[in-house]
With several copies, the nearest count.
Chain A
Amino acid sequence: MNAQLIQFAYLASAVLLIVGMRNLGSPKTAPRGNLIAAAGLLVAVVATLLVQGVVSYGTILAGIVVGSAIGVVLATRIQMTAMPQMVALLNGFGGGASALVASAELLSYVRVGEEPTGIVPLAIVLGVLIGGLTFTGSLVAFAKLQELVSGAAVVYPGQQFVNGLLALITLGLGAAMVMNPLGLDPYFGMVALALLLGVLLVIPIGGADMPVVISLLNSYSGLAACATGFVLGNAGLVISGSLVGASGIILTKIMCDAMNRSLGNVLFGAFGAVDQTVSAGASGGEQRTAKGYTPEDAAVIFSNARSCIIVPGYGMAVAQAQHAVRELSDLLESKDISVKFAIHPVAGRMPGHMNVLLAEADVPYENLVEMDQINSEFPETDVALVIGANDVVNPDARTDKGSPIYGMPILDVDRAQHVFVIKRSMNPGFAGVQNPLFFNDNTMMIFGDAKGVALKLVEAVRDLS
């Protein structure tokens, strides 16, 4: 096909990707948006197959078939609660592919003996570096989330010094390559170090901070694709890569803001390792006990309630309790109790995680209300039902300047008339701090697994009427 035409095809593909992303902005148009974006990618692939010089269709087809098979299996088997690790894994493959492409280009320059010019050497180095780091980093994140390895932050003395040193050496090797692109020794060193750095930079980050890391790595994988775009002089790659780069950065920032932590603190703060003990001490001076209640106790209160706000958290995801919760909410609605769901931006382990789980359980999305919209409603609400959430409902974030989560915006459940909290124990949540909510007079703790308790609540409410 005419080279010009192919470039217009890439432009069309980029437009489809942009239009698709725009359609992702509303639940009504989002499925179509996803299809449009996929069509955009398809256009790019088809256009590429028509590039002169692309001839080994067998190899290409084999690769696509193998990749598609794996992709289909992953996408259809994965449970909704496991989305964070799914995204991590896929992201790793994307980064790895970019690193491989940049490497392949370098090797063919070397084979032909022609020196790359202009921005190409730099782009090759960035593609290999960012892509490689994304690859191993994402795999470690996956392993932590899938609990193949411990999710705890792995820290040791001098860690940041070692990482800093390695990063410097890697950059040095990269610079050497830019100077002399055809010398392969620095290349191999750089690849090895980039892969190592991906591991080392992610292990000190606690399991629950993984989504921030994944989002950041997602941004990186976009930038790596962008770099290969510069290597190949392909505007389609540059545009799509930039889109992903921007998207990842924005989501990272949203998560950090919603936790009131800086990105630096997430990446280097080793939250979930040292901090935990320190902070648990901070508010745990006096030793108070919270009273446990039974689902039957709660049912009595429900029988007089007119309104209920359900606050789901990470525990609901772990317990796979979304369907039971949905059942409960249907039951309450059938008793003329208005039910809404209050969704904190970082409830769970991924931004928007709770929305997906509840949508899976057929909760209509109009009932999923964002934090800012619903906070004013708690004082007029009879029951706030907290299911496996902890940090996102910790009033210390509002009042206790000493708390490590001070300043994090929270859901004001403590202002509701009654608060029920379902969790298994008095153990703290991800941030490792005690939650004074549990000791309030209007709080009833109902200990147990989220799913089990939700089902018992259903029974108890049903029995009462």
Chain B
Amino acid sequence: MLDNPAAALTIFVLAIFVGFEVISKVPPLLHTPLMSGSNAISGITIVGAILAAGSEERTLSTVLGFVAIVFATINVVGGFLVTNRMLSMFKKKPDRA
């Protein structure tokens, strides 16, 4: 899909813009979950890991791919779970106030 370097670069640049705009709106209150959440997203590399590990033959590449899957999954699962744990703690004032 990204055989065309110009298209790839265009997507990259636009995504950077989107990232900057979206992230700079997150208030300091939520910076810790933002950090763990975006950290989890960097586990997207699991996509590459699956592609590397998934081919039929058992070569060094598939072994590396397997380790990569484990690593990336830890990152993704751990990241989203811990973010969820944190976020579920943020509560509005109950009626007592």
Binding site for B on A (CB under 8 A): 4, 7-8, 10-11, 14-15, 17-18, 20-22, 24-28, 30-31, 33-35, 37-38, 41, 44-45, 48-49, 51, 53-57, 59-60, 62-64, 66-68, 70-72, 74-76, 78, 80, 83, 86-87, 90-91, 93-98, 100-105, 107-108, 111, 118-119, 214-215, 218, 221-222, 224-226, 228-248, 250-251, 254, 343, 345, 350-353, 355-356, 359-360, 362, 364-368, 370
Contact = CB atoms under 8 A, between A and B. Distances in A.
Contact of A225 (B44, B61, B80, B97): B44
Contact of A352 (B4, B30, B46): B30
Interface residues of B, number: 91
A251 B31 contact: yes
Contact of A245 (B11, B19, B22, B32): B19
Contact of A222 (B38, B46, B60): B38
Nearest to A255: B31
A244 B12 CA distance: 12
Given A30-B90, A242-B16, A368-B29, A235 B7 contact: yes
Contacts of B27: 25-26, 370
User: Which of A4, A222, A243 counts the most chain B CB atoms within 10 A?
Assistant: A243
Given A25-B26, A228-B45, A235 B2 contact: yes
A137 B30 CA distance: 25
Identify the 10 closest CB pairs spanning chains A and B, nearest first. A67-B73, A246-B19, A63-B69, A71-B77, A352-B31, A54-B54, A75-B81, A71-B78, A7-B6, A242-B15
A100 B49 contact: yes
Contacts of A41: 40-41, 43-44, 46, 76, 80
Given A7-B1, A67-B76, 6 more contacts: A24-B33, A30-B87, A105-B48, A237-B44, A244-B39, A254-B28
A37 B40 contact: yes
Contact of A118 (B5, B40, B49, B51): B5
5 contacts: A96-B71, A97-B68, A239-B15, A351-B31, A359-B86
B76 to A, nearest CB: 6
A14 B83 CA distance: 19
Given A75-B77, A90-B40, A218-B35, A228 B53 contact: no
A88 to B, nearest CB: 9
Chain B interface, >50% SS class: helix
A56 B30 CA distance: 40
B59 to A, nearest CB: 6
B3 A108 contact: no
Contacts of B2: 229-230, 233-235, 238
B19 A63 contact: no
A367 B18 contact: no
User: Which of A8, A104, A228, A352 counts the most chain B CB atoms within 10 A?
Assistant: A104
Given A76-B81, A244-B38, A351-B32, A97 B60 contact: no
Contact of A101 (B4, B38, B49, B77): B49
B29 A352 contact: yes
Contacts of B33: 24, 30, 34, 352, 356
A161 B13 CA distance: 34
Given A72-B78, A356-B33, A48 B62 contact: no
User: Which of A34, A86, A236, A250 counts the most chain B CB atoms within 10 A?
Assistant: A34
Contacts of B48: 97-98, 101-102, 105, 225, 228-229, 231-232, 234, 237
A190 to B, nearest CB: 15
Contacts of A63: 49, 53, 65-70, 73
A11 B6 contact: yes
A341 B81 CA distance: 27
Given A27-B30, A218-B35, A235-B2, A21 B76 contact: no
Contact of A119 (B5, B14, B59): B5
A423 B1 CA distance: 58
A41 B50 CA distance: 13
A67 B79 CA distance: 12
A364 B78 contact: no
A228 B41 CA distance: 14
B21 to A, nearest CB: 8
A224 B49 CA distance: 13
A15 B13 contact: yes
Given A41-B44, A108-B59, A351-B28, A238 B15 contact: yes
